[in-house]
Structure 1
Amino acid sequence: MELRHLRYFCAVADSGTFSRASKELHVSQSAISEQIADLEREIGGALLDRSQRRARLTPQGELFLAEARKTLVASERAVDIARRSLKGEVGTLAIGFFLWGAGGFFARIIREYRKLHPEIRLSLYEMHTWVQMDALVSGKIDLGFTRPLEPPYDRTLRAELLYSDPVVVAMPVDHPLAGETVQASDLSAEPFVMCERAVTPALFDGILALCSKAGFSPQIVNSSTTWSGVLTLVESGEGIAMVPSGARHLRTPGVTFATIEPETTHIGIAIAWNPENMGPIQRDFLKLVLANREKIQSSGGY
């Protein structure tokens, strides 16, 4: 059974005669008659009563007509959805992000995208940057708001830098150096809490380079695999920490932040994707993000 069998049958049922159905479909009357006869043989019984001038539906034909119409509507919807999907108008989009790194711009981008593409189903996943890399490779997510690519992911993934986040000093609110700014050299005698190098090797090395340029090597007394963990250790009095300024938004009450002078170290926030998994939906989202890059940069991501 093919869709044309259903179309021919519905046309005869609606018009009442084979001749009218032939004109409406621009198909020969004999072809329509043959196809409906084939349909009846496949079903095993008559769907039309041809004993009178008008072709009337048998009771079985009435039941079949209702289901045939549903099938045709469903097939038309399937074609429409496929065509719209090819244009990026319907479908799904999975996006990875890490909360404090995405900043206020992330929520604004998502809201704007939902307005522009209300029929795209968005799935948002909060995950560490290194988890995002594997998720992009495996196809679990389509795009990720993450750190700039590092080996080996820079060989298979692509990314665009959105803005650079300056490194600031986190310290307990009652620390003697607490204030708006601090000289890097003033931190030489302080115990340091670090985010483990495996998490953000570029930033870890950048902090060491900043300290070296200021004339000292940091005394690392503790570490954590998360920035929230680093701030908890700082709040507990374990030491100070150099962190991306976005960490301010993790809202740790007992911690204050100071700008480092001179400001020399930054860590980037990028949008990354797997070129093998890019389709019209992914490209539309990426285009929207990049169109807003100047606004993101001017606001520092917030």
Structure 2
Amino acid sequence: MERPEIPLPQLHAFVVLAEELHFGHAAARLGIAQPPLSQQIRRLEDKVGHALFSREPGRVTLTPAGRELLPAARQALTDLADGLAAARAVGSGRVGRLKIGFAASLALTVLPRLLRTFRQRFPGVHLDIHEMTTAPQIAALHNNTIDIGLLREPPTDETELGFKTVLSEPFVVVLPTTHPLAAQRTVQLVQLADSPFVLLPRVVGPQLHDQITGLCTAAGFTPQVAQHAVEWQTVCALVEAGLGVSLAPASIRRIRLKGVAFRRIEPSTARTRVAVAWRKNDHNPLVTHLLATVSQDPPERPSTGPAWS
């Protein structure tokens, strides 16, 4: 049996009249004249196929059919109001789920403050955090697996993604404490020419990998890569084990390993860029809110670790 479609104004008029049991009072509450109210009720009764109100001189009462309909009508109006409120909340970006990818090293710099600030401003938004390197983040943005990326050295040939720099930091040399250069406060890059290197594989961060190898090339040598590691924590551990040296963002100094020394490099102008990334055609208000949070509350220059020794 086909269900009749009942306009919401008819349900609203029915509920108000059921509560007032007086056409004049109900019409005033609805802000309409009494004849239009009577017409709304008649149309609803025609759809139901039974009278909903008993009309007697000076008295209006609900019929059995009206009493049966009243709870369902109230629930329908409540559900609609709740749905509208939820839709407005999602549409304004006050609630919802935001999927964020981040490079592991950013947990040492911009990530904690950014997430803390965003959660304070939008407590109803659930943050779904995924740790991944730069190249996987770019792929995840393209296939909608994440909404926002926080990465190092974004690609320069992207047309569908937007990037905004949130931090720039210098590089440091990562050495085993047993390395002869660990006794120096500053290391010339050319002094690393004969040392094996531990580097991130190019596939996980092409721009950062090329930047590091480019610094070596500019210093007059090609780095001898002895080991690859995806995360900076692992890079430092392999350096501590004596498998090589590395160049890393200065914030990596926050990784405390007894057998690792971090030293300034010369030339000292080389810096690595941290950026927030998003799809240019994404109109998700949560993305807009996070980008606004980055702009309104830019990350402070991070403390990069213990004092230089």
**Aligned counterpart for 2:266 among listed residues 239, 261, 268:** 261
Superposed displacement of residue 157, structure 1: 0.3
- Alpha carbons of structure 1 residues 265 and 122: separation in structure 2 relative to 1, 3 Å: same
Structure 1 contact 165–300 (Cα < 8 Å) conserved = no
RMSD value over aligned CA atoms?
2.5
1:223 aligns with: 228
1:167 aligns with: 171
- Alpha carbons of structure 1 residues 99 and 200: separation in structure 2 relative to 1, 3 Å: closer
Question: For residues 125-274 of structure 1, what are the structure 2 equivalents within 5 Å?
Answer: 125-150=130-155, 152=157, 154-179=158-183, 180-274=185-279
TM-score (norm 1): 0.87
Letter in 2 for 1:23: A
2:39 aligns with: 34
Structure 1 contact 94–125 (Cα < 8 Å) conserved = yes
Tell me the SS of whatever aligns to 1:55.
strand
Identity %: 35
Instruction: State the alpha-carbon separation in 2 of the partners of residues 8 and 203 from structure 1.
Output: 66
Superposed displacement of residue 83, structure 1: 3.1
Superposed displacement of residue 216, structure 1: 2.6
Deviation per residue, 1:108-145 (Å, 9 max, x gap): 22222222222223222222221211222222322211
Q: Is there any run of 5+ residues in structure 2 with no aligned partner, and where?
A: 1-5
Tell me the SS of whatever aligns to 1:189.
coil
Instruction: State the alpha-carbon separation in 1 of the partners of residues 279 and 203 from structure 2.
Output: 22
Instruction: State the alpha-carbon separation in 2 of the partners of residues 45 and 218 from structure 1.
Output: 88
Tell me the SS of whatever aligns to 1:155.
coil
Instruction: State the alpha-carbon separation in 1 of the partners of residues 150 and 86 from structure 2.
Output: 29
Instruction: State the alpha-carbon separation in 2 of the partners of residues 175 and 288 from structure 1.
Output: 43
Structure 2 contact 103–152 (Cα < 8 Å) conserved = no
The answer on 1:76 being equivalent to 2:81 is yes
1:113 aligns with: 118
Q: Is there any run of 5+ residues in structure 1 with no aligned partner, and where?
A: none
TM-score (norm 2): 0.85
Structure 1 contact 170–234 (Cα < 8 Å) conserved = yes
- Alpha carbons of structure 1 residues 51 and 268: separation in structure 2 relative to 1, 3 Å: same
